[in-house]
Amino acid sequence: MPTSAHETPLELLRLDPSLPDWVQTELLGDDAPTFDHARLYDPNVRPRTYQADAMVLYCGKDDLPLRATVYEVQRGRDPDKLGSWKLYVGHMETEFRVKASLVVFVPDKAVADWYRDQVARDTRSGAWLRPWFFTPADVPPIVDDELAAIRPARVLFSAMCHLDDASVEDMYPALLAALATLEPTAKIFYHNVTVGRLPAPARARWEAFLMTTTVGKRYYDEILNEADARGEARGEALGEARGEAKAVLLVLESRGVPVPDAIRERILASVDTAQLDQWLRHAATATTVEDVIRG
């Protein structure tokens, strides 16, 4: 509960809102910019919704947080980030009562240098940022396939940072070991964002490398089988939707309900089988095609 010892210094601000500036500039010696007048502002903090890219808690065996990290990926220059990053870090430290670090991956070195300069210039703010900026050049190529089996994310991240390197082939055994640990959906995705983005000559050498190992051949077959299965599933779904769309039109035609070309095309183009099923039920009783679509 607030006490007079707490409230009295605040009450003095109502007499003179410039009191903190007197403390900051004259008593403590800060050379803050001059101003015309000071006015009190609503002290209730109601920030709009912000969302960090990721927040991580590092916990002990009892699952209690020991420290935290705000993790951001920043591709372009955005001066507002200096403010929102402070909110993210402050939220983590207040919510969990631990120290939080700020780690920012910046793919472009020039952009990273720009942010470092902005942080260095941010001397007027009462909340200081101490981010850990890093770029692809700070991520070493990982060639340890044993590590890849344990920490595949590290190897995949490293590979994504070095796809254009002349020595990327040295990473192939570790990259294969990392990809091979993933379940089918993740395997397809991370294959596409790593192998799929290799320059054509490097990708051809990857294909040749796969054929030199038993693991590589099995991996290659799994990729092809998964792609075939996905294509077959999509084909079946599209075929089912096409059949239901034709059924809707057939019912309307048999009942003498006119169907304009635009609505006919809309029905035939739909791949939402649940929606088509609903339209089919309505087509049995509707007096106009508009009633079917609205229903």
Which pLDDT tens digit goes with each residue over 226-261? 554 454 445 455 666 777 788 788 778 877 888 888
Domain chopping of the chain, boundaries: 1-44, 54-138, 145-212, 240-294
Q: How confident is the model at residue 139 (pLDDT cuts 50, 70, 90)?
A: very high
In this prediction the pTM is 0.67
pLDDT digits (tens, 9 = 90+) for 96-110: 999 999 999 999 999
pLDDT 10s digits, 25-74: 887 888 878 888 888 877 776 767 888 988 999 999 899 999 999 999 99
- pLDDT tens for each residue of 192-232: 889 989 999 998 999 898 888 887 788 877 776 655 445 44
Share of the chain above pLDDT 90, in %: 39
Q: How confident is the model at residue 4 (pLDDT cuts 50, 70, 90)?
A: low
Q: In whole numbers, what is the pLDDT of the chain averaged over residues?
A: 84
- SS3 string, the chain, reads CCCHHHHHHHHHHHHCCCHHHHHHHHHCCCCCCCCCCCCCCCCCCCCCCCCCCEEEEEECCCCCEEEEEEEEECCCCCCCHHHHHHHHHHHHHHHHCCCEEEEEECCCHHHHHHHHHHHHHCCCCCCCCCCEEECHHHCCCCCCHHHHHHCHHHHHHHHHHCCCCCCHHHHHHHHHHHHHCCCHHHHHHHHHHCHHHCCHHHHHHHHHHHCCCHHHHHHHHHHHHHHHHHHHHHHHHHHHHHHHHHHHHHHHHHCCCCCCHHHHHHHHHCCCHHHHHHHHHHHCCCCCHHHHHHC
Which pLDDT band holds residue 2 (cuts at 50, 70, 90)? low
pLDDT of residue 34: 87
Q: In one letter, which amino acid is 3?
A: T
Cα 70 → chain centroid = 13
Confidence at residue 45, expressed as pLDDT on a 0 to 100 scale: 63
Q: Encode burial over 193-221: b for 16+ CB neighbours within 10 A, e otherwise.
A: ebbeebeeebeeebeeebeeeeebeebee
